[in-house]
Amino acid sequence: MAAHPSHEPAPQRPDVRLLLLPLPEFTLLPFGGFLDKLRFSADDADRSRQRHCAWTLLGIDAQPVTSSSGVRVEIDATPADVDWRAFDYLVVFGSRTVEKSMALAGAYAPVLRAASRHGLPLVAIDNACFLLARAGLLRGHEVALHWRHVAEFRSAFPRIAVRGELIYCFDRDRITCAGGTAAIDMAVELLARHCGRARACKGLADMLVDEPRHPAHPLRSMEGDPRLGRHLSRAIALMRSALGEPMGIPELARRIGIGRRHLDRLFQERFGVSAHEHWTRMRLEHAQWRVQHSHHSLASIAGEVGLASAASLGRLMRQHLGQSPGALRAQRAAPSSP
């Protein structure tokens, strides 16, 4: 018996197709924000069909991948299953720590290189750019990354240009994103290039997002307490973004547009210390966090905060914190008492 002709429209080819690769212990915020932006733009109304854009969850193997918060996601395909020609991008979501992401290079670099050989642009979200850099896939490119990782990245990969003022960066066939909610802004820009601006922005109101941010959007939360006043807020923002730069207080004051004495007076009145002392404390806070949460050498961490050597770092830590870097590491390594 002859079949009746179907009145269903033929499936359309999506405008953009993405492979999503969450690393073990990936963070949920950028992953969920990016994925939900795809979902809203993928279909008309709120039907969640993958019509205008489509995505596949890729894993190094078929096992579920567990996020840093313990939530697990199922994998759709492994590298052996993938026809690279069927996709337009490979999007990598960074692990919980920089060390974890870089430690995965041995297992994941072949997958990234295979995608690159087949012409897929690589997208690195949060600290996934450390993985791409370790795999040699960021040479000659500029990267955007989380402000907390800028000094560390520059120390580890000094030949790769960092755009610390950007929340995401499109540089030819490499796209990098600082993570967090910036993954939504980056997703809008990516979708706009394939689906048009109107579809790319679809669903933002449902996500309670006012509008997509420009890549150079200045974070108000980075400017400190607005009650500090314009000059102090700007000084603290510059100090935070230039922890490892060989910049002195006179140059800092010049960039703000006031004299050094004026700047020191503002810090003394508000914090009871000079601008130099405040900046030293910020650098030591960063160094202390890195000593306690990484296995990087003390010389490397010293370089991240603009110090010449591990000895200089140790001297400052003993002077200001009353402990040596080695003692801080030993406390982290010691088992907790029952």
Angle ∠(152,90,20) on CA atoms, nearest 5: 95
CA–CA dist 263, 291 (Å, integer)? 31
Tokens 């010389």 sit on residue: 299
Contact 58, 129 (CB under 8 A): no
| Gap between the Cα atoms of 172 and 307, Å rounded | 34
Are 29 and 94 a contacting pair, CB within 8 Å? no
Q: What is the rounded CA–CA span in Å between residue 93 and residue 34?
A: 10
As a whole number of angstroms, the distance between CA 166 and CA 102 comes to 22
Cβ proximity of 19 and 120 under 8 Å: yes
- Tokens in use for 247? 């910049």
Q: Enumerate residues 6+ apart whose C-beta is below 8 A from 179.
A: 27, 29, 30, 94, 125, 126, 127, 145, 146
- Cβ burial 212-248 (10 Å sphere, 16+ → b, else e): bbebeeeeeeebbeeebeebbbbbbbbbbebbbbebe
- Give residues with Cβ within 8 angstroms of 96, minimum separation 6: 25, 26, 27, 68
Q: Give me the residue label for tokens 């963070």.
A: 27
Q: Which two tokens stand for residue 320?
A: 């200001």
Total Cβ atoms within 10 A of residue 127: 29
Q: What is the pLDDT of residue 306?
A: 83
Per-residue pLDDT at 123: 98
Quote the CA–CA distance of 64 and 25 in Å, as a whole number: 11
Contact 232, 222 (CB under 8 A): no
Question: pLDDT at position 325, please?
Answer: 87
Q: How does 189-206 read in b/e, with b if 16+ C-beta sit within 10 Å? A: bbbbebbeeebbbbbbee
> What per-residue confidence (pLDDT) applies to 198?
93
Q: Quote the pTM value.
A: 0.73
The pLDDT profile of the chain, 338 residues, written as one tens digit per residue, is 444 444 445 457 899 999 999 999 999 999 999 999 999 999 987 788 999 999 999 999 999 999 999 999 999 999 999 999 999 999 999 999 898 999 999 999 999 999 999 999 999 999 999 999 999 999 999 999 988 788 788 888 999 999 888 899 999 999 999 999 999 999 999 999 999 999 999 999 999 998 899 988 876 665 555 566 778 888 888 888 778 777 889 988 888 888 999 999 999 999 999 999 999 998 888 888 888 877 778 888 888 888 888 898 899 889 888 888 888 888 765 544 44
pLDDT at residue 338, as a whole number: 40
CA distances from 136 to 77, 105, 132, 140 (A): 25, 10, 6, 10
